[in-house]
Structure 1
Amino acid sequence: MSAADTTTPAKVPPPRQAPPPAPKRPGGKRTSGGAATPWLLLAPCLLVLVLVMGYPLLRLVTLSFQKFGQSQLWGFQPAESVGFDNFTDVLGDDEFWTVVVRTIVFAGGAVVLTMVIGMLIALLLQKVSGWLKTLINIVLVASWGMPVIVATTVFKWLFDSDYGVFNALLSKLPGVDMIGHNWFASGPQGLAVIMLLVVWGAVPFVVITLSAGLTQVPKELEEAARLDGAGAWGVFRFVTLPILKPIIVMLTTLSVIWDMGVFPQVFVMRNGHPEAEFQVLNTYSYDRAFVVNDYAQGSAIALLTVLLLLGVVAVYMRQMLKIGEVE
């Protein structure tokens, strides 16, 4: 008998049985896991948004198509529908377009400074030691949590013409004499100070968010880029920046919305009476409504501001959809 005859035949494993089908609910229909569950979870938040924002927005739209002043406010005369007359008057006013341009320039400058400074600080936090990083984060959170009115008061003191610390520090430089300099004597200088205030309040949120995003950048990709000969700028441009792009787009859009809607910084810095060269869209709408007592035209300006911000949101949504398609 040969050796081949003495070998035991290989055992063939039994075929695997398919798992039993999922049990059907009474009625013979399977459920898809509850498609209505997310809406049920969102319902309380949506209800609060409708109650808090729905009625004011509806009232804003209604007023913008009416003639509504002091007489209508106190009930001496009924509100009259005037169609698009308020919008025609606003859009035909050169002062309105001056305010629009000033607001866009102000918001654009604040957003650029916020994103650049925030990115630099976030990158720096990746290089420092643990205790220093913790200390910087504590300082950032403390400054972020400071109320806007308090921060504005502090900046008013820093840039005061008589007792301002900033003027005193600049005057210590050789050949510089800033004692008594009034930063708010001209619109551009005053708005630059207010822009610094806005940036100071917005940088902490950007830094914390970008720092969280930087922790998700794979170290292997950075090492591979360095091995291919990329420098620090090349690694940031071709590795870090593409990964952070969704976060940057989100932060930029939020910053544009917040900076376009600046009100308390300008209002408090100018003691409740912003001059013409300090007017931005929100303060301009407020002045038309509560200083000139033309509530309808103030509402029209506010509604145009909302539509302008909706355009920013539309650009944001388009960019996010493009990023989603690439991924």
Structure 2
Amino acid sequence: MAHTNDHSGHDHTGHDHGPGHVHGSTDKKRVLIAACLTGGFMVAEALGGILTGSLALLADAGHMLADSIALGLAWYAFHLASRPATVRLTYGFGRVKTLVAYTNGIAIFVIALWIVYEAWERLQAPAPVLGGPMLVVAILGLLVNISAFFVLHGGDRESLNMRGAILHVLGDLLGSAAAIVAALVILATGWTPVDPILSVLVSLLILYTAWSLMREAAHVLLEGVPPSLDRDLIARDIEATIQGVREVHHMHVWSLDGTSNMATLHACLDEGVDAHQAVSAVKKRLASEHGISHATVEPEFGQCADDGDEHGHQREALQHPGHFH
């Protein structure tokens, strides 16, 4: 059996695996601006919440405190991602952005639960709220959050790290809007329970979006197949379009950070086929038709070298997609 491995062009220290290089620099600046805006107003909003007795303002200030820290982490993640790969970290630091996005999701989740608890306590023991000053602080907070949101909104929204940053600011924006509504109701009717009730409604919305972010980031960290791709259909496409490729198996498709897709696979070739040309054709097909920017293709003739090992069932899995995803 002739068995060759083509790994040409796979020196990871020389390859560009870091996604988002087109947006990376501008996204980094956007996140830093948003962090400064959020952190700067957080102190004023916290003081306003204490002076007016508004849970909505305190809740939004709590969001802004956590968000300024989270945005700082997001900025640092972009900073790390720009570093080149090393001998020990052959893919570079691109996945740090996904890890930060997951951490941000957890932070948002915890904060939202804390707000729900505080709102329950406030409903059990209502406290007076100064509607006028609360309205002024809430409006200023809304303007700051709108500014931060538009700064981030122009970034790369396919990046999980950027989406996590936007989610933090969106939570702050909704919190400020809820505080404004609560202040208007209190000024008009004097009904203070609206303050914790609106805080809970905003928290429930944030919980849902935070869970979605955490789930997507976890999928990337677990090296799941990107939602936009179908591993089995890609394998069938290669077999049908690349001349000389008899079968594709042992195929793995994953994403480094939610934007850069990667794959490894075994390509079983017909006898006499030029292995180098076949591998090159497979890589070009993966890049042009399936958006897979980096692939490692192992050409084979005859029996697979890995048959009988712990991964041997993947050949059958590709033939029966319902058994392996």
- After TM superposition, the score normalised by the length of structure 1 is 0.25
> Which structure carries more relative contact order (alpha carbon 8 Å, separation 6+)?
1
Q: More helix by proportion, 1 or 2?
A: 1
